[in-house]
Structures are given as C-alpha cells and as structure tokens.
Structure 1
C-alpha cells in the first residue's frame, strides 16, 4: 500500500504494533476461517472487554482503547472475524472463539455492525448468558435502515471496487476537523486492506433482513455511546436505539463522526471506564484489582 495515513504513521500506533502481537485463531472446521485479534492487559482477568469493529474496520481500529485501558489494568481484546455469511454463523463462530480462549463471560464494545452483532450474540446466548454488558457505539437495531435487504444476497458477486464505494458513500464528505479527517483516512486504509470476500460477507451480514428483539436483552446493562454531529446513521435510528433500551446509560459526544473511538479516543475511553467501573467490586470485573497491580502492563 503506497499511501499511509497520519494515524498509521503515528508513534502511538507504531508502539501498539510493536508491543502487542496480532493473534490468529481458527475455531471452525474450515481452516481458512481465521479470527484475528489483539489481546492486551492482565490475562488473569477472565471477563474482558471485547471490541468489535464496523464493516470497514480491522481489529487494530481500537488501538487507542487497547493502549489506554490496558495501562489501567483492564483486559481488552479487539477481535476481527473471518468470512461469515450470516448472523447465525457469526454468533456460532464468536461463541467458539470465546470457548477456545476460556472466556465464559465478556463485556462487549461494538461499533456499527460490531454493535449489531454484539446485540445478536447476547440474544443467541440468552439461555446461557455470555454477555455481561454492552457498550453500543453509532449502531442500529434493524438492518432494514440500509435499504439493501433485497440486493444483499448478490453482494458476493460484486467486485471489490463497487463494494468499497458502497461503504465509502457513508463516510463524511463535508469539512471536518483534523481528528475526524485522520480517523476517516485510517479507516479508508483499513477498508483497502480487506479482500472481496471479507467485504462482501460483512456487507451481507450488515444488510440482509435481521433485527434485534429487545425483550431478550432485558437485564443486560447497556451504555449507548453516540455523537451529535453528522455520521452514517439517521436520528430516527438513534431514537430507535433509545426506545429499545429505555434504562440504558447515554454517553453523548458533541462530535466525533463515524469513528469516535479514533477521533475522540480520550472521551470514548473515559466513558468505557465509567461503564466498566460498575462491575469492579463484582466477580464480573474487566480489570485486575488494585492490590494485584504488580504486572498491569500490556502482557
């Protein structure tokens, strides 16, 4: 790739890449299906925060969360899924990944498609709960908002260039501040790295007819993290989220665009810490108790 974004050339990103290895894990019988993840923070923590990216994202889009939160003793895993063509297949794959890693319960921070899949996974494990809590960022409850339900079944046929244009059409086109502009550049770079199959399968899962059943998620603590400037989803989608989770905590950012975990990472990290703090004195904490702080490095 000839072009490199400001963020991927930053000292922070280079430090992240040199200190935290990319793990590749196969949990399906098909050896070509490889989960890619970064696992940082104290490994003795068995209820980590798992970050799930949007359609255009790879696991490293959460590098700012990984660095900041693991330095505070929180175990953070950013996971990027292999090619799955349905929500059901994704949920099954994610469950196998957690089983493989010995993680019976997790907190999930999901962005856009990642947030939708987090909700579906919580639904699918209703009878044997695996999701302790959800932080949902710029996400949705019904795929019909994308108006591609009819054509989604044909995405696997479309060339990479067409699929990439579909995704980039949702990126902000008007004048933005440098933080948001840098976040868009970084995400475009990530998008360029995806294969046709990876992108087609993600868009299929994102757009094929599917919706959340909120009655199955009652009792799961939720924080809704959203921005008030322009981003890919409409206000109606945001209002629907609030309706689905009337007791959710609301974490509002004045601005941040589509990717606030990159463009407004300090604010997002603060909201993540506030959300996770509620579990500190329970057996479901994502962090190591202060008394065990000897090795709170990015192990």
Structure 2
C-alpha cells in the first residue's frame, strides 16, 4: 500500500474526517448515482457556501475551508458529483441536490472545472435564480482552451491509467515550495481514488465543446481568485475570465499553484470571508453573523489587507 501524503496524515485532516460525516445523497432515478457531500455549520442557514472541486478533486479537498469557515458560523457544503456526461445533466442533478437540501439560494466557490460548472449552473437557472454569488478559483469560461476537445467523446472507453496521466500532466512540482508540493501530493492521492467512470465523466465535462454566456450573469456578485505563479491554465484564459466579468472583485495571490485552497488556505479563507461579508444580515447570508461583526482572521500582513478590501 502506498504511503499517505503529508496532508492526509495531518492532525487537521484526521480531525476533519473524524468529526464531519460524509453523506451520500441520491437525487437521480438511477440509484447507483449519489452526490457525496460534507455539510457543516448551522443548518438553519438556507443560502450556504457550496464548494465544487476540480477534475482531480474529491469533496474533502476543501477541508481547510470547511474547518475554518464553519468555525466562524458559516454553513459550508463541499459537494462531489456522481457520473454525469453532459453539462445539462450535471446542472439538473445539482439543482435536485439543492432542492433536496431545501436551500433557497447558494454561493458557489468553484475551482477549475468546479468554477466552470458553477457559471453554467448560474446560467442554467438564470430565469429562476438559485445562485447568489460566485467565487471562481483558477477557473475558465470556454472549454476550447483544452487540447482534447475533439477526443472528449472517447474518454468513456479510455483506461483509467491513461486518463490519470492526462490530468497529472498539469501537475507541476518543480521549483515550488513545500506547501504547494504537499498540496500536489494530496491531490494526486485524491486522483488515484477516482474510478474510471468518475474521471472519464469529469474530463468529458471539462473538454467537450462548451462556453459560458457570461452576459447572462452580469447581475451576480463575482470574486475571481487567481494565483500569479505557474498553474495549469494560461494567462490568456485568465484575461478572458476578467473580460467576461468586468464588475468582478479580484483576489490575487502571489503564489499557490493549482490548488491554493490547500497550499494558501489562510489567504483563500480570508478572501472567502470578505466576499461573503457583503451578504451578512440579508436573506442570502451564509451565516448568522451581523454585517458589522469584524472578520477575525487577520493572518495576512497589513499591507496586503489594504489590497484585499480595496
């Protein structure tokens, strides 16, 4: 048996897994399909923050956000989908999930593919809005940026090993600091745990030709969370995301790699709190905090905080 990553062996992760139950929720007619979720914080909150993982991630990759924000009174749900082969199918299944959980609206923190699907779900429900806001981390608006557009229809028959190599080709562990290296090891571990159908379906959603009609989402509060070091997507993809959301607030991290919610969790958690704070004492609050209650996680240097809240 391979040795567990440092993150998986950490006291923080072990505490999370021992204290937060993993739920399997079936919302489709096919009972073999089940969403896997971690649901923390006050259940009376009807507009929680939902975290959606990248292709390689499982719901527990957001354990640092769950522990930090739930401890401050936020309701946070990390959700991992079952096998879906089209974006519409995914959106319909996600809508059934939030209906099952009796949620009025949701804030979505989406990473990479999770960010793309968050935008598509907001677009999917635009006539009866279910999304209160978006936080997009290393996200994209058009799948044409990926190399496998025309072969995506064949992912379902490719061996698991081939699919995993396709994903791992984007994991750069050269010239990175210890925290980024540990985040990569943990994500490789999560990738290895995915079944062939799970991984094939996610890669299909990630690469099948599709794009976000961002003009439909101009009413949404959006925060774009980006890193300035190397990660899987190009600067051109980032610039296109900025163009699609000129009204968005920008949350920049000097470094963090592909998985800043793991490698730079303190900064990411602070950005999430700043984003959610604007909804305090409204019907779309993700917590029961009063809007004037201060954010207590001042773990960043003061000169950086001025940039964050500007």
TM bin (shorter chain): over 0.9
Distance in 2 (CA, whole Å) between partners of 1:36 and 1:214 is 29
Is this contact kept in 1: 2:281–2:290, CA < 8 A?
Answer: no
After superposition, give the CA deviation of every residue in 1:181-238 in whole Å (9 maximum; x if it has no partner). Answer: 0000000000000000000000001000000001110110000000000000000000
Instruction: Quote the residue 2:81 is aligned against.
Output: 81
Displacement of 1:166:
0.2
Distance in 2 (CA, whole Å) between partners of 1:141 and 1:52 is 15
After superposition, give the CA deviation of every residue in 1:222-279 in whole Å (9 maximum; x if it has no partner). Answer: 0000000000000000000000000100000000000000000000000000000000
Distance in 1 (CA, whole Å) between partners of 2:262 and 2:151 is 31
Instruction: Quote the residue 1:30 is aligned against.
Output: 30
Instruction: Quote the residue 2:107 is aligned against.
Output: 107
Instruction: Quote the residue 1:94 is aligned against.
Output: 94
Instruction: Quote the residue 2:188 is aligned against.
Output: 188
After superposition, give the CA deviation of every residue in 1:157-191 in whole Å (9 maximum; x if it has no partner). Answer: 10000000000000114121000000000000000
Distance in 1 (CA, whole Å) between partners of 2:102 and 2:283 is 16
Distance in 2 (CA, whole Å) between partners of 1:246 and 1:74 is 28
Q: Does 1:276 align with 2:276?
A: yes
Displacement of 1:290:
5.4
Instruction: Quote the residue 1:160 is aligned against.
Output: 160
Q: Mind listing any 5+ residue stretches in structure 2 that lack a counterpart? A: 292-310
Instruction: Quote the residue 2:130 is aligned against.
Output: 130
Q: How does 1:221-236 map to 2 (within 5 A)?
A: 221-236=221-236
Distance in 1 (CA, whole Å) between partners of 2:93 and 2:162 is 27
After superposition, give the CA deviation of every residue in 1:110-162 in whole Å (9 maximum; x if it has no partner). Answer: 00000000000000000000000000000100000002111000000100000
Distance in 2 (CA, whole Å) between partners of 1:227 and 1:162 is 28
- Alignment partner of 2:225: what SS? strand
Instruction: Quote the residue 2:150 is aligned against.
Output: 150
Distance in 2 (CA, whole Å) between partners of 1:249 and 1:221 is 8
Q: Mind listing any 5+ residue stretches in structure 1 that lack a counterpart? A: 292-299
Distance in 2 (CA, whole Å) between partners of 1:170 and 1:29 is 35
Is this contact kept in 1: 2:73–2:287, CA < 8 A?
Answer: yes
Instruction: Quote the residue 1:250 is aligned against.
Output: 250
Distance in 2 (CA, whole Å) between partners of 1:112 and 1:255 is 16
TM-score of the superposed pair, with normalisation by structure 2: 0.93
Distance in 1 (CA, whole Å) between partners of 2:269 and 2:143 is 27
Instruction: Quote the residue 2:306 is aligned against.
Output: none
After superposition, give the CA deviation of every residue in 1:45-89 in whole Å (9 maximum; x if it has no partner). Answer: 110000000000000000000000000000000000000001000
Distance in 2 (CA, whole Å) between partners of 1:185 and 1:222 is 30
TM-score of the superposed pair, with normalisation by structure 1: 0.96
- Alignment partner of 1:18: what SS? helix
C-alpha distance 195-218 of structure 1, shift in aligned 2 (>3 A): same
Instruction: Quote the residue 2:215 is aligned against.
Output: 215
Instruction: Quote the residue 2:297 is aligned against.
Output: none
Higher RCO by CA contacts (8 Å cutoff, separation 6 or greater) = 1
